[in-house]
């Protein structure tokens, strides 16, 4: 499993040669729009955690350019199906075996509406199991007791958590989340993109390190292998 960070909550996960894109927000991201060429992004599937603009902005264009399947909650899936895109609707607690691996749509505490006001269902995150590795993508969420359910069904190799505060968990709550999900290897996302969510990188890494945890912060375009 190879994970490439394209800024904010946008990640390209390559599993079994299948390209799984998460929350594409590139053309509107001041930090990534000049560094990432949208036309070079390859996606077989696009997973959307919730309907907010900073998670779905480029989903339609990339889906249409790649004939990709959008996987999200029922309301978001129907929104894109009406635009002629192939979709796979899920809802909270449900699992499905895709050709790249098993996906579970899990709870998040946040909101979810499209830019035009269309209802975007309830927000979520994903647990993805593929190539003998399991990762958790929290999406935008507060720290929530529901996170304690995740290790009951999955032994995580990596968790991708928002750390930017204001709209989601900040650093201190993400450290508690790491305990709740029983995973000490964290990839931080959803920080620095806007003024509200700027963080001190050194302080964030130090706080995790002091709790015997590893916080990774990737450069835009940087990849890790699991």
Which partner in Ni ion, Mn ion, none is near 104 (CB below 5 to 8 A by kind)?
Answer: none
Considering only the stretches 2-10, 76-84, 140-148, 203-211, report the one whose residues sit in contact with Ni ion under the rule CB under 5 A. Answer: 140-148
Position among 23, 58, 129, 140 found at the interface with Ni ion (CB under 5 A) = 140
Q: State in angstroms the smallest separation of the CB of 165 from Mn ion.
A: 12
Tokens of 69: 């399947």
Own/partner pairs, 131-135, CB within 8 angstroms, 24+ separation: 131/1, 131/15, 131/16, 131/101, 131/226, 133/1, 133/157, 133/158, 133/226, 135/1, 135/3, 135/13, 135/159, 135/160, 135/226
Alpha carbon distance 27, 15 (integer Å): 25
Which residue's CB is nearer to Mn ion, number 54 or number 173? 54
Stretch that binds Ni ion, among 68-76, 97-105, 136-144, 150-158 (CB under 5 A): 136-144
Q: Which of Mn ion, Ni ion, none does 44 bind, CB closer than 5 to 8 A by kind?
A: none
**8 interacts with Ni ion by CB under 5 A:** no
Q: Using CB under 5 A, which residues numbered 41 to 60 contact Ni ion?
A: 52
- CA separation for the pair 83, 92 (Å, rounded): 24
Residues that bind Ni ion (CB under 5 A): 52, 140
């Amino acid at each position: 499993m190879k994970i490439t960070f394209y800024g904010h909550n946008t990640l390209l996960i390559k599993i079994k040669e299948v390209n799984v894109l998460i929350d594409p927000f590139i053309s509107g991201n001041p930090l990534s729009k000049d560094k990432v060429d949208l036309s070079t992004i390859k996606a077989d599937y696009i997973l959307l955690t919730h309907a907010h603009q900073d998670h779905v902005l480029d989903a339609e264009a990339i889906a249409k350019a790649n004939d990709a399947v959008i996987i999200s909650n029922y309301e978001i899936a129907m929104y894109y199906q009406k635009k002629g895109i192939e979709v796979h609707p899920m809802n909270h607690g449900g699992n499905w075996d895709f050709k790249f691996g098993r996906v579970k749509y899990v709870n998040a505490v946040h909101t979810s509406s499209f830019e035009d006001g269309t209802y975007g269902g309830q927000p979520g995150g994903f647990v993805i199991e593929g190539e003998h590795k399991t990762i958790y993508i929290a999406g935008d969420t507060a720290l929530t007791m529901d996170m304690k359910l995740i290790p009951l069904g999955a032994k995580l190799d990596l968790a991708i958590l928002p750390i930017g505060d204001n709209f989601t968990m900040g650093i201190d709550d993400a450290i508690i989340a790491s305990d709740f999900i029983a995973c000490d290897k964290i990839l931080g996302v959803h920080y620095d993109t806007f003024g509200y969510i700027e963080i001190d990188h050194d302080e964030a890494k130090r706080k995790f390190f002091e709790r015997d945890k590893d916080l990774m912060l990737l450069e835009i375009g940087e990849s890790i292998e699991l």
